[in-house]
Amino acid sequence: KEAKLWGGRFEESVTDAVERFTESISYDKALYKQDILGSKAHASMLAKQGLITIPDWDSIHQGLSEIERRIENGEFEWRTDREDVHMNIEAALTDLIGEPAKKLHTARSRNDQVLTDFRLWCRDAIDAIGAKIKHLQVSLVKLAMENEGVIVPGYTHLQRAQPVLLQHLLLAFVEQLERDAGRLLDCRVRLNFCPLGACALAGTGLPIDRFMTSAALDFTAPMKNSIDAVSDRDFVMEFLSANAITAIHLSRLGEEWVLWASEEFGFLTPSDKVSTGSSIMPQKKNPDPMELVRGKSARVVGDLVTLLTLCKGLPLAYNRDLQEDKEPVFDSVKTILGMLEVSAEFAQNVTFNRERIQKSLPAGHLDATTLADYLVKKSIPFRTSHDIVGRAVAVCVSKSCQLQDLSLDELRSIHPVFDKDVYEFLGVENSVKKFSSYGSTGSACVASQLGDWVTKLEIT
């Protein structure tokens, strides 16, 4: 058996079970690029500070580049007995270049090394998720552009409430996604500080330059407190929280569209490209992708809960428990990227069934609130208007008709203030036209917001 990099004081080697249980190479090899980048920055700083020679620096750099090449060509052997990505790369470097490699870990611990790698990895992941969020927003805005003027029932309590423009509804999701992207950007700003040089927990007496490595790795600044630097996982919790909120938004979008694709609603039809069938029922065409978007949100929430639970009650500073922080992050990122991608594809492959939607509009007295506003305009106090319209609705329910079917005499028998201009307020088309407040479903308002999104998302 090869001696461990930390093996000096040990007389016996670990059991196979312990080796298998404590390894992280099976998953943290995903950090190899960041690990090499961090090591190169560290070596350059050691050279500049006179802690290693220029020839040492040169062979470390070349050796690391060669290792990166081998990893990318599948020629690198990842070894479980070398525990994690850091020791695999360092040991391989020693195999490759010999003595100079032994100087690389000067003024560094795996505790600050792993966090440097992980912060760099999360930074890239945030950028990738941000791009996918934008792509979904673009798909939703384009879908809105294709559906100008379509009125749909708006719901509260899943009961018919008021008529809204389909565009308005689609843009609601675009707004939510914008905040999701914003949360990720906020998280990126806070995580972009460099732990490298914190060493095990206390820093070092060697003359390192933490500002140099921080700048070389595009961090804003070195982290100020070395104990905090190796203990902190709040950047992970924050990242996973942002992902969890995004996942919940996508889950709600998924639920909306699964519902709308049902026979009972029938408001949208996904194309075959985004549907799957049943192994027993020949007629079935199911919106599985959006069901799985809804379903996979559970994992993303679970990943956050794993991290929170992991960190709860840990004493300062580094504890090996913290090795368990990687898999939830990898899972969360992979899952959210897939959810965003498939949601965008779904948006590009749905058709809204305008006739079916249109036919459904008369049900549910969607114009009742507009009628109450009409009475307010006639100087009736709103509470009284509410009551009057409520009584008009009761008449409609007993006669199985709509508000616009009531004659002026019938309306006047409820309250004398009704006039023939009331019919300009009744029916969903008239009702939608009356909305004018900022952020409302009024067509001018929605058109202007759609225009803003087209500009902001650079849609051509």
Cα-only R_g, the chain: 31
Active site includes 157?
yes
| Residue labelled with tokens 């969607």 | 366
Q: Is 105 buried (19+), middle (13-18) or exposed (0-12) by CB count in 10 A?
A: middle
For the record, the structure tokens of 370 come out as 């507009």
* Cβ within 8 Å of residue 150, ≥6 positions away: 165, 166, 167, 352, 354, 357
**Among residues 65, 262, 271, 278, which one is catalytic?**
278
Q: Where does 312-362 have alpha helices with state H?
A: 326-348, 354-360
Q: Which is nearer to ligand ARG, 84 or 256 (CB)?
A: 84
Distance set, CA 347 to CA 121, 338, 343 (Å):
29, 14, 6
Shortest approach of ligand ARG to residue 87 CB, angstroms?
8
Q: Which is nearer to ligand ARG, 19 or 178 (CB)?
A: 19
Shortest approach of ligand ARG to residue 326 CB, angstroms?
6
Binding residues for ligand ARG (CB under 6 A): 24, 28, 84, 110-111, 114, 320, 322-323
- As beta bridge partners, residue 153 has 163
Shortest approach of ligand ARG to residue 79 CB, angstroms?
14
**Among residues 157, 279, 379, 407, which one is catalytic?**
157
Where b means 16+ CB within 10 Å and e means fewer, 250-268 reads bbebbebbbbbbeeebebb
Q: Which is nearer to ligand ARG, 247 or 317 (CB)?
A: 317
Shortest approach of ligand ARG to residue 14 CB, angstroms?
13
Q: Which is nearer to ligand ARG, 67 or 389 (CB)?
A: 67
Active site includes 278?
yes
Q: Which is nearer to ligand ARG, 24 or 246 (CB)?
A: 24
Q: Which is nearer to ligand ARG, 56 or 84 (CB)?
A: 84
How far is 247 from 175, CA to CA, in rounded Å? 15
Shortest approach of ligand ARG to residue 213 CB, angstroms?
18
Shortest approach of ligand ARG to residue 110 CB, angstroms?
4
How far is 395 from 28, CA to CA, in rounded Å? 68
Of 18, 15, 97, the residue nearest 52 (C-alpha):
97
352: enclosing H helix or E strand: strand 350-352
Q: Is 163 helix (H, G, I), strand (E, B) or coil?
A: strand
- Tell me which residues are annotated as active site: 157, 278
